[in-house]
Amino acid sequence: MVGSFDVVVENAYLKYTFRVQRNITVIRGDSATGKTTLVEMIRAYNEEEDTGISIQCEKPLVVVYGKDWENQIRRTTGSIVFIDEQSRFVKSIDFAETIRRTDNYYVIVTREKLSALPYSVTEIYGIRTSGRYAKLVREYTQNEFFRIYSSMSFDGFKPDVIITEDSNSGFSFWKNAANSCECISACGKANVLNTLKKIQVEDRKYLAIVDGAAFGSEIEEIIQYMKYYNPLFKVYAPESFEYLILSSEIFSSKEIDEKCKNTSDYADTLKYDSWEQFYTALLVETTDGIEMKYNKSKLNMYYLSKKNMNMILKQLPELLSF
């Protein structure tokens, strides 16, 4: 499944408007914020008559629930699948394996981290009420999704230590590009925060560089740690290291530029578990057999020349410096 899809779900009292554009979207928030109501409205629309609910979307909206969830998913294709937080199976390895490479998008309502799923930092949403409107004699509430982690501020941040999620090509690049900083690999996204806790020293500044396209399960815990325990720790979360290379001036291809700007139209869920995988495959395929051949396990020296490093580093936020 590819593409981005606008969704409108409404009845006489409520209206939800949002866009779904990746294989996994997560909705978070406290009780009474309308998360479960949205799922219940979609379920009622599909299963009951005369509900007064209307849905506008190019793709079918489906709710999966109960003990038969695996068979429900296997029978579903070309749809946007909604799962409520009461469905405990979403935390299981079985669920992660079942939805891999399927022809659906998944919208999951949960307040918990889903460690087995590669979802994006930018596809974690809350629901806010944008206004109440008079509609005949009723109150009419419009709800919209908002990105919880839409941006991260640096304010002239110059780190002393860089912690990378990657231990291969990405680590090699940052170690050479930021030679004025100590560079440490966490050897995996789940180890980033624990690595910081082990090495942090008072008054030193730390920067974690992670693949934002698949780091969603870890971001909340890290943001909370930054806020309450170590304000000298920051996170830079581009889509991926491969995305930075593809978006740089190293490539002057309209085709690559199009695929980076409109990734939802190309990152087919039948082939890729996340946009990070798509960018890696695109870079490997594009450079195959030429001087700039990319290998995720071992970084080609081509990308470590001063000229090429500078072109990649231009993608960094202006106030983040090495």
Give, in order, the Cα–Cα distances in Å from 21 to each of 24, 76, 127, 225, 251: 8, 18, 17, 29, 25
Q: Which of 82, 114, 147 is the last residue of a domain?
A: 147
Alpha-carbon torsion (177, 178, 184, 188), positive or negative: negative
127 shares its domain with 196: no
Q: State the DSSP code for 232.
A: T
The pLDDT assigned to 197 comes to 94
Residue ending a domain, choose from 84, 112, 147: 147
- Are 112 and 174 in the same domain? no
CATH number at residue 139: 3.40.50
Number of domains composing the chain? 2
Which segments of the chain does DSSP mark as H helices, in order?
35-47, 69-74, 93-99, 169-177, 192-199, 216-228, 241-247, 254-261, 275-287, 306-313
Closest CA to 82 of 54, 40, 124, 114: 40
The pLDDT of residue 135 is: 40
**What's the confidence (pLDDT) of residue 25?**
96
Domain of 32, in residue numbers: 5-147
* Listed residue (51, 12, 27, 293) closest to 141, CA to CA: 12
CA distance 235 to 3: 29
Q: What is the pTM of this model?
A: 0.93
84's CB contacts (< 8 A; 6+ apart) are 35, 36, 39, 40, 63, 65, 109
**Last residue of some domain: 100, 116, 147?**
147
Does residue 186 sit within a domain? yes
Residue 33 and residue 88 in one domain: yes
Q: In terms of domains, do 14 and 124 share one?
A: yes
Residues 180 and 131 in one domain: no
Apex 133 CA angle, 130 and 138, nearest 5: 130
- In 3D space, the residue among 71, 14, 20, 66 whose CA is nearest the CA of residue 45 turns out to be 14
Looking at the DSSP assignment, which residues form a beta bridge with residue 163?
Answer: 184, 208
Considering the domain architecture, whether residues 61 and 130 belong to the same structural domain is answered as yes
Q: What is the DSSP letter of 64?
A: -
DSSP 198-225: HH--TT--EEEE--GGG-HHHHHHHHHH
Q: Say yes or no: 60 and 140 in one domain.
A: yes
Together in a domain, 121 and 47: yes
CA 250 to each of CA 30, 48, 257: distance values in angstroms, whole numbers, following the listed order: 44, 55, 11
In-domain check, residue 103: yes
pLDDT of residue 69: 97
Residue 274 resides in a domain: yes
Domain assignment present for 321: no
89 lies in the same domain as 179 = no
- Does residue 132 share a domain with residue 224? no
Q: Do 267 and 178 sit in the same domain of this protein?
A: yes
Do 181 and 116 share a structural domain? no
- In a domain? residue 286: yes
Kindly state whether residue 319 falls inside one of the protein's structural domains.
Answer: no
Mean pLDDT by 10 residues, the chain (322 residues): 96 92 90 83 94 96 96 97 93 96 96 93 88 47 82 85 95 93 95 95 94 95 93 94 96 94 98 97 97 96 96 91 82
Residue 145 confidence (pLDDT)? 83
pLDDT value of residue 131: 61
Does residue 191 fall inside a structural domain? Answer: yes
Inside any domain, residue 28: yes
Whether the CB-CB separation of 72 and 98 falls below 8 Å is answered with no
Q: Distance between CA atoms of 68 and 70, rounded to whole angstroms?
A: 6
